[in-house]
Structure 1
Amino acid sequence: MKILMTGGTGFVGSAFIKRYGDQHEITVVSRHPIQAKKTLGPTVSVLPSLAELEHLNAFDAVINLAGEPIADKRWTDAQKERIEQSRWHITETLVGLCAASDHPPHTFLSGSAIGYYGRQGATPVTEDDNTPHDEFSHQLCKRWEAIAQEAASEQTRVCLLRTGVVLAGHGGALKKMLPPFRLGLGGPIGDGQQMMSWIHLDDMVAGIQFLLEHDQCQGPYNFTAPHPASNEAFSKTLGKVLHRPAFFRVPAFVLRTALGEMSDLLLTGQAVLPQRLEQAGFVFEYPQLEQALHASV
């Protein structure tokens, strides 16, 4: 399959290429083409910009994963705009290129996040739930998904990847968590009751491949494992896997003081279930948290 990918040098994109690159002809869009080529290997083609393209006739599928990291910096107004435009603008450009194509890609996979649902407490959430909490993460993902859906046509199906916390020791949230936990200084955040919906990196990239292969799939898909955990249970399980104590609690007010509104991502949560992926026949390699953490650290 000939695939155009944005975000190909990122955590998930590079993992997909490493595992499935020999099964596809992948072209990655990167502002740093020399470094991208060096990182991704000689079999991957690199474009410095989508402006190089007039249409997408040459591609069978698009995987759109680009976006400014949402949890790396305090949410100033300027940072919020960077987070939004890094997702919305590139998706709008891809949709425009689809519209300009005589033979557009048959599949358009576009990133999103479980932040679409906003804070939901401990009540299980599936793709059928249409009562999101209206906050920044929801507004961000709602607009992002709406833009991506504009690529849908009789020729192109659109799948939205509502992604949870992706687990792997070499990147993402877990990489940041490991140093204090390895020192025995880890523990719950706030009251620890906020739910964490997670997915192992191997299941994340396998799920993307699954959607590429199953042409009946379209619409939103929760990319989360079947068993979400509270932050306290997650912390205790990570401590157990590392053979370290995990009782140093980070007070909520400390996070709110340090991170402002962005602390909501850590202090609130949702118990998101992968209902539509499982109904479509996808089987998780790591459905349980402890086995996923053992495989990650």
Structure 2
Amino acid sequence: MTDGLYGQSEFDALLTEENVFDGVFECLRRIWGTEDALGERKLGGSEYRTRLLERELAKLYPPLYDELAEQMGDHPITSLEDGCGVIMDALSLREGFRLEQELANEHGWDVSLTWAPIERLPSETQFICREWFDAQSPSVVNRDDYRYIGDLDVPQLPGTSPEYVWTRHPDKRLEAALEGNYSTEEVEDIYEDAKGLLEDIVHESVHTEFFVTSDHGYVNHLGTSPYTLSDELEESLKGKFSSRFTEVSNSQAFQLLEHANIIQRVGDHYVVRGHHKWTKRGATKKIMHGGFSLPECMTPVLRINTNATGDN
């Protein structure tokens, strides 16, 4: 494997952890656990190393994607018994590693970070919201123990135990960020606003224990990539996919892409594996989800207890 993607402790975790993805989690921590990993100067390099890690892991461990798919379902947010469950749309492990450090250091809270696989594929909000709240969209969930936050202002929270909060951030801004070459918004700025929103939720809630997670992560195609496609495969992707997933239909192009391990069939959908991308004329969205990759499908699970300082 390429030098720098892991150290001895991460290598040991990959070899010895009962769940290989616990080792992957430590490798991702090595990439994203530094303070400036989301910064403008380092972001492209951090994303490149993430893509390289996933490509090499898939080569060395062929069951990688099948095992990740088998672990999906029964996300721990669905078994929350008390406290406040916060679902931050598209919050990824990138932000999770930084939140773990900063929330503990700045507030004195007891904060821990683990991970959980997404509920299901495609890794899109509409499908996961259906599974969790039986609704087509987080904004239309109608329950007394639930609040939806579409902007950065926190409304009165339910006060139930458990209570659930679904925020449109950071995805609301990520969807517009890095849109072709036209956006000037930095991912780190988006992170800071999402962090501030989470802090406000903690302070507004009656609870002292918080379970913070996401419905899915995202891929960021910023910068160079070790993933390559032949002209034929790129044309097939471009012709069949407008996003990172599409409905199944009979087509030789799908068979070609599936045979090349570029896509995978999941139920009634094909999803793009890894960080494969295709070029189109004009501006191309760089931040996407809906496919089958490690940063999309391994969601952060932050547990926060504010009783350490009695802030709440």
Structures share a fold, TM > 0.5? no
Q: Which has the higher contact order (CA 8 A, sep 6+)?
A: 2
Instruction: Report the TM range for the smaller structure's normalisation.
Output: 0.3 to 0.5
TM-score by length of 1: 0.32
TM-score by length of 2: 0.31
